[in-house]
Amino acid sequence: MVMDEHQSPDIILPIHSLRNVRAIDYDPLDKQLYWIDSKQNAIRRAQENGNMSMTVVWSQVGGPNLGLQPFDLSIDIYSRFIYWTSEVTNVINVTRTDGSRVGVVLRGEHDRPRAIVVNPERGYMYFTNLQERSPKIERAALDGTEREVLFFSGLGKPVALAIDNEVGKLFWVDSDLRRIESSDLSGANRIVIEDSNILQPVGLTVFGNHLYWIDRQQQMIERIDKTTREGRTKIQARIASLSDIHAVYDLDMSEYSKYSDL
């Protein structure tokens, strides 16, 4: 569904054969929507109007019955790489947007990388590592080097991440602690954004001055001012089976040219 808070009605994209959409991202260069279908064990994409849907990554490894089970994905629009995590292999994979495989960029013993977001402008990826009894939020360079733990305490189950390059902030939602937090991109200045009446947060995104999140149990989309932490507003309600949310910006071609030439 495409939502515009200033215009109605909302638009339902005519994408067929959706089974169980787990995660979404958008490529503003090619104007393509990407998503993970956990029932099909695949990463798929379609044009922003819903047409021309196709499979980019089909999850077969080591035999026809062993699926990779992609969990989350994030697109580096400059390198044309898709970074994605897997519930089976517990690594961070990279695939080109044309579907060709690059390989594994990050793996470690006992790792369980899940939510992921890339920040190609600064050369990092951020990810949750849901190791048993010791969940973490980490970052690494886009090639998997320079890995460091940003947070290992005060976490329950961080399930979604978002980055705001305008103000240099990392945001995350924690489904066990039922709260939204933020920090600088280096992990400094950690604060709680909101922790009141949040029951089952499963996704968040930044757009303009606001942070948006979805609450699956309450079947709603809400927003709050990302800086003042005020003005909490219900945007949509009574939407069953919410799984992810993503804000879309128009691509600044001058910015794109600057980073794509690096």
- Model confidence pLDDT, tens digit, residues 5-33: 555 567 788 887 787 899 999 999 999 99
Q: How far is CA 28 from CA 162, 168, 212, 234, in A?
A: 17, 21, 20, 27
Q: Is the pTM of this model over 0.95?
A: no
d(CA 209, CA 224): 8
List the domain boundaries for the chain: 21-260
Q: What is the CATH number of domain 21-260?
A: 2.120.10.30
Query: Token digits for 177?
Result: 């602690």
> How many Å apart are CA 180 and CA 174, to the nearest integer?
6
Cβ atoms of residues 36 and 73 within 8 Å = yes
Q: Are 166 and 174 in contact (CB under 8 A)?
A: no
Task: Return d(Cα 182, Cα 190) in angstroms, integer.
Answer: 6
For the record, the structure tokens of 93 come out as 């994979």
The predicted-structure confidence for 158-215, as pLDDT tens digits, reads as follows: 999 999 999 999 999 999 999 999 999 999 999 999 999 999 999 999 999 999 999 9
Map residue 109 onto helix, strand or coil. coil
